[in-house]
Amino acid sequence: MRRPQRRAVAKQSRAKDGDEIRLLEAWIDAGKPLPGTKPPPPSEESSAANARVRARDVVAKAAAGDYSDYGASTRFDELPLSQKTKDALRKAGYKEMSEIQRAALPHALCGHDVLGAAKTGSGKTLAFVIPVIEKLYREKWSQEDGVGCIILSPTNDLAGQIWEVVRKVGKHHNFSGGAIVKRTGIEQEKERINSLNILVCTPGRLVQHFDETPNFDCSNLQILVLDEADQILDKNFKSQVDIILSQIPKARQTLLFSATQTKSVKDLARVSLKNPEYISVHEQASTATPDNLEQCAMIVPLEQKLNMLWSFIKRHLKSKILVFLSSVKQVKFVYEIFKKLRPGIPLKCMHGRMKYEVQQAIVAEFSESTSVLFSTDIFARGLDIGNVDWVVQVDCPESVALYIHRVGRTARYNKKGKSLIFLCPQEERMLEKLKATESKIPINVRNQKWNNWSRYLRM
Ligand SMILES: Nc1ncnc2c1ncn2[C@@H]1O[C@H](COP(=O)(O)OP(=O)(O)OP(=O)(O)O)[C@@H](O)[C@H]1O
């Protein structure tokens, strides 16, 4: 039983939350952006020197009933967000919003469905995590209310990473939740899934719960998020996504994000978007890949690709290198032979047949150290590892979109990065696609004779 003093504190805190929620709702309603509007370019006023003063003014004015149009905000603390979320963002070092966050957050906060597109590494995760937390907070969501939000991700690792962002931003709130990934075991998950408010998972795992967990109930769902939406809506996940959509209410907010967003009317009809805001902040940009990314392609005979890779690694022993290969077999093979040859830099490998805990340990080690990681495309989308110097593609990606996601593991959020792709003459068709004007990929091609390559590998 709670002591009377603790009960009084809890009551006081609930009353404070209630006051803040009323203020936020009035502010969100009064200052909401009109449908179809974009934020104006940041003005001189938004310089760091007076930004904090301006943010304080905005909040003080809102408290006095004078609500600003938050659609023009440049900082998180100028938005109508709960103090708990603002404190968590500040502590995590997030102050200025990125372009996609500036454009998407005002619309998402006031309940619009959003179809968001922005380059890899540009901060899309916060653009959907913040609205999720704020919506549940304003709805006074508690453990008894059950599942209020589902965030779908194509892989377990990405689900785990998104959950860490939810935890970081929601750390002062009282929501329950988790990444529903293979780690815990389905039986343990079944016992607690109905008491979780925010689920982050792959479509497959969620369907397993719909099939096997007695009384699994999502009828109260408020928000559905699809990260890497174009992949979640493609044919590989089709049957699972159809089951999920048939089990959740249509009256909900839906947020779709990707660096290579779908515009297919069919896809959008499937998720029943209501007057969605199509927010593509880099649509007019001259490149589809990050500005700080240097990209290079080399044409080499198939049988020379591994020699080239070996020479490349030997010349970059002080770099963090992510190497993409197309199958588990290839990853294991290259990892094993290169390990025997001892290149002088730690080697690691990662693929979907590993246990989730092992994958997590490898990601953590790779984040910390200078090393080479051989990986399948399990790593291609979404994963945010700091300071990857090079992405090397030994096997040709099957689409331009996959190329964009693979190279997007470097040059993230204003950092610099480089990428190299080895293509054999039979794969030059992909090179044409990458070089096509509409792909907007500034790639340099080294087309010299392959046996003259060594000086080029000193890039
Ligand atoms: N406003 C911000 N200020 C500073 N850093 C930020 C901000 N927003 C995001 N970041 C950082 O930028 C990095 C990339 O963000 P995120 O993973 O959300 O990118 P993304 O757009 O989802 O990329 P991808 O398309 O590859 O999934 C992360 O390390 C994140 O912490």
State if residue 121 touches ligand 1 by the CB under 6 angstroms criterion: yes
| Nearest protein Cα to ligand 1, atom 30 | 123
C-alpha 346 to ligand 1 mean position (Å): 27
Rounded distance, CA 378 to CA 158, Å? 9
Q: Which of 97, 122, 155, 385 to mutate to test the pocket of ligand 1 (most atoms within 8 A of CB)?
A: 122
Residue 4: pLDDT band by 50, 70, 90 thresholds?
low
- Report the distance separating Cα 135 and Cα 137, nearest Å: 5
pLDDT at 263: 79
pLDDT in tens, 342-356: 999 999 999 999 998
Tokens (6 digits) for 240: 């699972």
Average pLDDT of the segment spanning 430-456: 79
**The two domains 3-280 and 293-458 share their CATH topology (first three levels equal):** yes
- Residue recorded with tokens 């896809």: 267
Is 3-280 assigned to CATH 3.30.360.10? no
Q: Ligand 1: which atom is nearest the Cα of residue 409?
A: 26
Is the CB of residue 97 below 6 angstroms from any atom belonging to ligand 1? yes
Q: Span 433-446, mean pLDDT?
A: 92
Q: 412: Cβ below 6 Å to ligand 1?
A: yes
pLDDT, tens only, 16-38: 889 999 999 999 999 999 999 98
- Distance from the CA of 424 to the center of ligand 1, in angstroms? 34
- At 61 the pLDDT is 80
* Per-residue pLDDT tens over the stretch 56-84: 777 778 777 777 788 889 999 999 999 99
199: three-class secondary structure by DSSP:
strand
Whether ligand 1 lies within 6 angstroms of the CB of 384 is answered as: yes
pLDDT at 6 over 70: no
| pLDDT at position 44 | 60
Ligand 1 geometric centre to CA of 177 (Å): 21
Measured in whole angstroms, the distance separating CA 167 from the mean position of its chain's CA atoms is 14
Task: Read off the pLDDT of each residue in 255-276 and give the average, rounded to a whole number.
Answer: 89
**Ligand 1 atom, smallest distance to 386 CA:** 29
* ipTM (interface predicted TM): 0.99
Q: Does domain 293-458 have CATH number 3.40.50.300?
A: yes
Instruction: Share the mean pLDDT of the chain.
Output: 91
Distance CA 305, CA 320 (A): 20
82-121 per-position pLDDT tens digit: 999 999 999 999 999 999 999 999 999 999 999 999 999 9
By most ligand atoms within 8 Å of CB, the mutation choice from 231, 384, 402 for ligand 1 is 384
Per-residue model confidence (pLDDT) at position 14: 72
What pLDDT is recorded for position 136? Answer: 97
Domain residue spans of the chain: 3-280, 293-458
DSSP string, 303-343: GGHHHHHHHHHHT-TTS-EEEE-SSHHHHHHHHHHHHHH--
In this structure, the number of other CB atoms found within 10 A of the CB of residue 342 comes to 8
Ligand 1 atom nearest 382 alpha carbon: 27
Ligand 1 mean position, distance from CA 7 (Å): 40
Tell me how far the alpha carbon of residue 437 lies from the centroid of ligand 1, in angstroms.
27
State the distance from the centre of ligand 1 to the C-alpha of 274, rounded, in angstroms: 27
